[in-house]
Structure 1
Amino acid sequence: MRYLLDTDTCADVLRGRPDVVARLRKVLPDDVAVSTISVYELFTGVGKCARPERERSKVRLLLETIHELPFLAETARQATRVRVDLEARGCTIGPYDTLLAGHALAAGLILITPNLDEFSRVGGLRFESWRKP
């Protein structure tokens, strides 16, 4: 496994954003994962949309093609280190992004996200965007 897609990247895929979809198609299926944190966020979004049945179906289809990486105790410990470090430096990121950063670090994966400014605050995190500028 090589890449961890964040929730915004998954949303880009679900919306059919051409640049992100094209990049995903170039990657071997075994090289891509999604955190169970993003699974939670995606299904929360489904519950809030006007046509939840249709969107739920799209999310399920996406998740059938991408490995789901469980958020485990070691992942939680790494996310804790991320949060403590950020707070000590007086800069924070959103709580789910903290968890995703910790997950990518714990698993040794590159986080795929359009939120480059936010994740640039996390020391040691490898990240990139699949969106074209």
Structure 2
Amino acid sequence: MILDTSFLIDLMDGKQNAIAKAQELTKRNEAQIITTVSIFELSSGLAQSKKPDRERQKIMQILAEQTVWPLDDDGAHIGGRIDGELAKKGQSISPEDCMIAGIALSKKQTVLSRDSDFKRISTLETEPY
């Protein structure tokens, strides 16, 4: 299961629904995977934070507990295709979400997210929390 950035932020903020979902995934022995794209997004937010030391500590704790997958060639090709197809239909989503979806599809993984933009990708399995 790929953990989207929205989930990671909610988890770091101590939101109960995210904490409960993380516990459920652990109980199910579900792999919990973070992408390098989410690291990029978290780092961007960190650079804008008013409390960067505290936020950095939260990010480092999350990263230490999870497997991290990079955006490889397959994920990049799939993500780029998704980006182009959605733009062509006038339904664009962020390039970062396209990259996360590309990684998920290339690895046959579900994305855990509350971000409704992922629903525009018909071939992508998502799980809410």
Residue 78 of structure 1 contacts residue 106 of structure 1 at CA under 8 Å; is this kept in 2? yes
Partner SS, residue 68 of structure 1: strand
Q: Tell me the equivalent position of 1:85.
A: 85
Partner SS, residue 111 of structure 2: strand
Q: Tell me the equivalent position of 1:33.
A: 33
CA-based RMSD of the aligned residues comes to 1.3
Partner SS, residue 86 of structure 1: helix
Q: Tell me the equivalent position of 2:17.
A: 19
> TM-score with structure 1 length normalisation?
0.89
Residue 76 of structure 2 contacts residue 102 of structure 2 at CA under 8 Å; is this kept in 1? yes
Q: Tell me the equivalent position of 1:124.
A: 123
Structure 2: stretches of 5+ with no match in the other structure: none
Matches within 5 A, 1:1-133: 3-28=1-26, 31-116=31-116, 118-130=117-129
Structure 1: stretches of 5+ with no match in the other structure: none
Partner SS, residue 68 of structure 2: strand
What is the rounded CA distance, in whole Å, between the counterparts of 2:16 and 2:114 in structure 1? 14
Tell me which stretches of 4 or more aligned residues in structure 1 moved more than 3 Å.
Answer: none
Question: 85-94 or 21-30: which moved more?
Answer: 21-30
What is the rounded CA distance, in whole Å, between the counterparts of 2:45 and 2:128 in structure 1? 22
State the one-letter code of the partner of 1:11: I
Residue 30 of structure 1 contacts residue 67 of structure 1 at CA under 8 Å; is this kept in 2? no
Deviation per CA, 1:73-127, whole angstroms, max 9, x where unpaired?
11101101211221232311111111111111111111111112x1111120000
Residue 9 of structure 1 contacts residue 20 of structure 1 at CA under 8 Å; is this kept in 2? yes
State the one-letter code of the partner of 1:129: P
What is the rounded CA distance, in whole Å, between the counterparts of 1:124 and 1:80 in structure 2? 14
> TM-score with structure 2 length normalisation?
0.92
Question: 105-114 or 85-94: which moved more?
Answer: 85-94
